[in-house]
């Protein structure tokens, strides 16, 4: 199925990338063959295997955190759409969360192997009782809410965009309802439309809001991340 590996260039982290070619007579559709070849030759995929991360997505959070300093030891973190666990791994390591004293909690309806220091609630975040169960597991208000959620693709770009934007909006509502004052929110979004209302909502509730695109996010992808920093806090009941 695969052809010979050829010497490649050094990728991120100094990992030597070996180029693998998938033979055209492999039995795969041409589009699937190209995707698999690109995936196997992705330097972040190869580096994730070398570094022990569950997915290349771990480097997106690493690169964002290296620049914006979101994760600190002792912080409480909620990771929405946690599977396969790359973001949980990074968050647990950087906040020094342990199995004995976990302060990183994830949620996903997909099954996944346990991440030391980051218990994961296996249920759909859109379920009515999911937010309360997350807070109960965490044991307090989070300092940071992360969301790398994306809706299952249908193949229709506009539909996929709208469905993922809905998840981003629900994640933002959740973050605003649970974050500590001064906390942060980071969520996957996509370029193009349907987000002006969301941006307005975030700007009303956070002191800094902007888009970020880490190097690990493929250049040709429409994927972006919304970063909202320094939550202003919720109004007291008698102020509402």
Contacts of 52 (CB under 8 A, 6+ apart): none
Listing DSSP states for 68-100 in one string gives: H----TT--EEEES-TT-HHHHHHHHHHT--SS
Choice among 23, 180, 188, 229 that is catalytic: 188
The count of C-alpha atoms lying within 13 angstroms of the C-alpha of 234, restricted to the half-sphere facing its C-beta, is 12
Instruction: List Cβ neighbours of 235 (8 Å cut-off, separation of 6 or more).
Output: none
Q: In this structure, are residues 118 and 89 in contact, taking their beta carbons and an 8 Å threshold? A: yes
Q: In this structure, are residues 146 and 154 in contact, taking their beta carbons and an 8 Å threshold?
A: no
**Residues 155, 15: Cα–Cα separation, whole Å:** 33
Contact 214, 225 (CB under 8 A): yes
Tracing tokens 């605003």 back to the chain, one arrives at 176
DSSP state of 25: T
SS3 53: coil
Known binding positions: 85, 87, 108, 124, 148
Let me know if 188 is a catalytic residue: yes
Mark the binding-site residues for S-adenosyl-L-methionine, compressed into ranges.
85, 87, 108, 124, 148
Residues labelled catalytic: 188
């Amino acid at each position: 199925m695969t052809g010979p590996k050829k010497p490649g260039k050094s990728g991120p982290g100094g990992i030597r990338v070996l180029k693998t070619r998938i033979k055209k007579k492999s039995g795969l559709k041409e589009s699937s063959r190209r995707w698999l070849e690109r995936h196997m030759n992705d330097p972040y995929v190869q580096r994730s295997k070398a570094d022990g991360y569950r997915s290349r997505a771990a480097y997106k959070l690493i690169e964002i955190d290296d620049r914006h300093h979101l994760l600190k030891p002792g912080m409480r973190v909620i990771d929405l759409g946690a599977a396969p666990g790359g973001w949980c791994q990074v968050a647990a390591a950087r906040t020094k969360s342990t199995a004995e004293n976990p302060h990183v909690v994830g949620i996903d309806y997909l099954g996944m192997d346990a991440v030391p220091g980051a218990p994961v609630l296996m249920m759909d975040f859109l379920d009515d009782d999911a937010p309360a169960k997350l807070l109960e597991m965490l044991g307090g208000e989070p300092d940071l809410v992360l969301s790398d959620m994306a809706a299952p693709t249908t193949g229709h770009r506009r539909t996929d965009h709208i469905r993922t934007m809905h998840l981003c909006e629900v994640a933002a509502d959740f973050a605003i309802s649970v974050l500590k004052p001064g906390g942060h929110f980071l969520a996957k979004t996509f370029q193009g439309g349907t987000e002006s209302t969301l941006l307005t909502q975030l700007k009303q509730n956070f002191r800094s809001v902007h888009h970020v695109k880490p190097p690990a996010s493929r250049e040709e992808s429409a994927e972006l991340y919304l970063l909202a920093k320094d939550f202003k806090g919720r109004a007291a009941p008698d102020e509402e």
